[in-house]
Structure 1
Amino acid sequence: MEEEWKEYKLCEVAQLLTGFPFDGHKYSKAGIRVVRGDNVTIGSLRWESEKDKRWNERFSRSNEFSLKEEDIVIGMDGSRVGRNRAQIKAKDLPLLLAQRVACIRNTEKSIQKFLYYQIFSNKFEAYIKSVQTGTSIPHVSLKQIGNFPTSIPSINTQRRIADILSSLDSKIELNRRINDNLEQQAQALFKAWFVDFEPFKDGKFVESELGMIPEGCRVGKAEDFYNINIGKTPPRKEQIWFSSNSSDYTWVSISDLGSCGRFVFTSSEFLTHEAIKRHNIILVPKDTILLSFKLTIGRVGIAGTELTTNEAIARFITSDENREYTYFLLKGYNYEKLGSTSSIATAVNSKIIKAMVVLMPDKEILKAFSSLTKPYFDQILRNEQESIRLTILRDTLLPKLMSGELKINATEVL
């Protein structure tokens, strides 16, 4: 007998609440972190120094507004409303919930993992886009979130569906942790070679602008050693240049650099073939090192394919022997010295990036370093490609499973 899926509003199968209106003037650097709209981004919470607000006052309603592990939080304002959503992990706690952030918890009719995949579906994102209000700053109400239409099967079926999808997510997360470890090992080699100069201890050292360096290494401006060019944005008012079709040209933004792995294969927005021709936009080859230098400075990625970027990203064209060196050079660079700490986000420009003072070893040293670290990056690449395939599989299965289009039994998808 085929199981019946019942139609509900989200508020009928989940508990919805929003946070407390904390007095922003009383936030502190100590105490319990407060989850505000600024802290909720696509799939995670962010705690950059200026966004890390804490509550250190007596608060009689702390139990009422304390978040729990696996709670789902949704930012209710901003250009990415409906996309800014995250799940609370044990390591995040304790946390307090601020106003204009929604929290979703399961009831006896639902399990939290199943709700998670409902909220993180394209269907939910499209629904919020259809009901949001506001022009300059889109926003959504708790009632509108609660009215999200959803189909719900039995608890056992919810659990089996969630287990299928979470097994894919678990493998993606495992790949991420493996890649973190691989990068840390390669980075330790970079530090040993080019910070501590361990392989060169017995050789001759010479004075340079960066201090004593091994003989044979050079110090100069980044543009002396690299072909560096800057991305470009076609006229924003002319939407014909922009696309959501992945068969068009990958066009990387700072946000894309923040959400991808080490290698960049795709973007949240694309440029049409005509845009590339009409606006003389430069495409950069695979293995180009990408560096963000406006607003958010110092995000680094490796082009996994031919692509282009917007004007907030500098592109360092590399050769076979210096891909790994350049990646770590830019990732570990002290960008604070490029401008005052109060104005660095707006003071740094492409001219300053090209004039950065860097160390450049000779080709033989670069080749030797690459021979040691390239296997780490090759494995990272394979893991990221597998994760991309698993993500596509998960995103293909998700709407079919969540709607009941794909039927399941205790052990398999039918």
Structure 2
Amino acid sequence: MFLKLWVMSYKILGDYIRKVDNKNKDLKVLNLQGLSMTKEFRKSTSNIVGTDLSKYKIVKQGQFCCDFMSVIRVHKLPVVLNNLGEDVIISPAYIVFEITDKNILLPEYLMMWFRRSEFDRYADFRCDSSIRGGFQWEELCEVELPVPAIEEQRKAVEQYQSVANKIKVNEQICEKLEATAQALYKHWFVDFEFPNEEGKPYKSSGGKMVWNEELGKEIPEGWERDFLKNYCKIKGGKRLPKDNELNSSKEGRPYIRVADMNNDKFITLNSKFQYVNDEIQKSISKYIVEKDDVLISIVGTIGLVNIIDESLHQANLTENCFKITNFKIVNSDYLYHFLVSNDGQREIEMKTVGGVQAKLPMYNVELLDIMIPSENILKYFKTICNKLNNHLINKKIELDKLTQLQSLLLSRLAVGEEEKRKIMV
């Protein structure tokens, strides 16, 4: 047996990178990209009609670009590594840089360091402490990081990318499952091609349609339009008592905020949730959610919709959301897919009031127009959705575990702060 000891010393990033300033002078590159807060490229939404793209900067494969101007505002550095397999152009206001020797420092390894939450906290801190004001190229060059042997870097990158690829596959599966359910909703409840008694599409097989005055269109016989309040209860959440705060130590119960909601069907408990301790919970104990309740955000980002997963059963709810519960005839799946559909989002938009500080009042949620199909079709739709939901929730659980593993891999990059010991037998 022998003990192998080594210390991974920290290096100054400025010794490994340099600025690049290649303008798109010959207009060969037309793929204009923006930078997202998740440190990925995003297709630019800027109107470039009549814009002189020759002044835009080229980012080649393996090069980085960053937006120093956003650090103070978003408390993180939007920095992206171009691994798209093609050159792109970005705003001339952004900085492009590259590694001087990729045999010493891998771009993918450096990008892992940039993804660490600790790095963003450092960048945010330097904005306040820098005598130059903000986080600039000079501050980036002063960043210290461990630069292990290139073989160690490759191993770290390989592990990280393996997890990242699994996350991407799971996300694609989740998207397909949700798209399948939404397509089924449209086919049955918008196109009215739900299965008739013979299992054939209702409308195209000659199913009887009747004119509905309120909706201004024909709907299947026996269906009706009504207000949402007649088929469920709408209840509000509760803000924390004054001078009380949430905790990240998982003490007490989860507290659902609008920030925790997403564009997925289910909202599930994950490592990012904050909690209310037992003492605070006593004063807001009536404002909890239950499994299969439907949430809708009413302030800020209005119209986000989620179904409560079992993992958040009896979690506390913010005052910036309503829960829709105690369903009669309709069910959470049908209501969710209606609310996220084009018709549902239009209804929400029409019922939103106010200007700068827009809000969706409870009485307007109660008066949302909703079509009430026959009860047997709703039950059949729920049965199909249950099968999709089970698969979807399992994938969400896997995603959360993979995301935690991804964070762990990033945190291990800093292991060089202490002596790293490896015992070999």
Compute the displacement of 1:72 (Å): 5.6
Query: 2:226·2:370 contact (CA, 8 Å) conserved in 1?
Result: yes
Question: TM-score normalized by structure 2?
Answer: 0.77
Q: Deviations over 1:157-205 (max 9, x none)?
A: 1111110111011101100011111222222211111011112324433
CA–CA distance in 2 between the matches of 1:12 and 1:69?
21
Query: 1:19·1:98 contact (CA, 8 Å) conserved in 2?
Result: no
Compute the displacement of 1:81 (Å): 1.3
State the identity as a percent: 21
Query: 1:9·1:149 contact (CA, 8 Å) conserved in 2?
Result: yes
Query: 1:289·1:323 contact (CA, 8 Å) conserved in 2?
Result: yes
Q: Quick check: 1:360 aligned with 2:372?
A: yes
| Residues 61 and 83 of structure 1: CA distance in aligned 2, closer, same or farther (over 3 Å) | closer
Match of 2:320 among 312, 320, 328: 312
Match of 1:327 among 324, 333, 336: 336
Any stretches of 5+ residues in structure 1 without a counterpart?
21-30
Corresponding residue number in structure 1 for 2:52: 58
| Residues 13 and 59 of structure 1: CA distance in aligned 2, closer, same or farther (over 3 Å) | same
Which stretch of structure 1 is more off in the superposition, 272-281 or 288-297? 272-281
Compute the displacement of 1:399 (Å): 1.7
Q: Deviations over 1:239-293 (max 9, x none)?
A: x322222344333333332387743324454333333333466111122222233
User: How many residues were matched structurally?
Assistant: 388
CA–CA distance in 1 between the matches of 2:178 and 2:232?
23
AA matched with 2:58: S
Corresponding residue number in structure 2 for 1:90: 84
AA matched with 2:236: I
What are the residue-to-residue correspondences of 1:370-385 with 2, within 5 Å? 370-385=382-397
Corresponding residue number in structure 1 for 2:238: 232
Query: 1:41·1:86 contact (CA, 8 Å) conserved in 2?
Result: no
Match of 2:12 among 9, 16, 37: 9
Query: 2:71·2:123 contact (CA, 8 Å) conserved in 1?
Result: no
Corresponding residue number in structure 2 for 1:288: 293
Q: Quick check: 1:106 aligned with 2:99?
A: yes
Corresponding residue number in structure 1 for 2:36: 40
| Residues 68 and 342 of structure 1: CA distance in aligned 2, closer, same or farther (over 3 Å) | farther
Q: Quick check: 1:258 aligned with 2:262?
A: yes
SS at match of 1:196: coil
Query: 2:334·2:378 contact (CA, 8 Å) conserved in 1?
Result: yes
Any stretches of 5+ residues in structure 2 without a counterpart?
24-29, 195-201
Match of 2:219 among 206, 213, 221: 213
Work out which of the two has the higher radius of gyration on C-alpha atoms and give 1 or 2: 2
What are the residue-to-residue correspondences of 1:135-174 with 2, within 5 Å? 139-174=134-169
SS at match of 1:172: helix
Query: 2:60·2:86 contact (CA, 8 Å) conserved in 1?
Result: no
Question: TM-score normalized by structure 1?
Answer: 0.78
Compute the displacement of 1:314 (Å): 2.7
Which one has more relative contact order, counting CA pairs under 8 Å at least 6 apart? 2
Query: 2:11·2:146 contact (CA, 8 Å) conserved in 1?
Result: yes
SS at match of 2:238: coil
AA matched with 1:158: Q
AA matched with 1:332: S
RMSD: 3.9
CA–CA distance in 2 between the matches of 1:221 and 1:402?
56
Which stretch of structure 1 is more off in the superposition, 295-304 or 371-380? 295-304
AA matched with 1:227: K
Query: 1:216·1:361 contact (CA, 8 Å) conserved in 2?
Result: yes
| Residues 344 and 381 of structure 1: CA distance in aligned 2, closer, same or farther (over 3 Å) | farther
| Residues 380 and 340 of structure 1: CA distance in aligned 2, closer, same or farther (over 3 Å) | closer
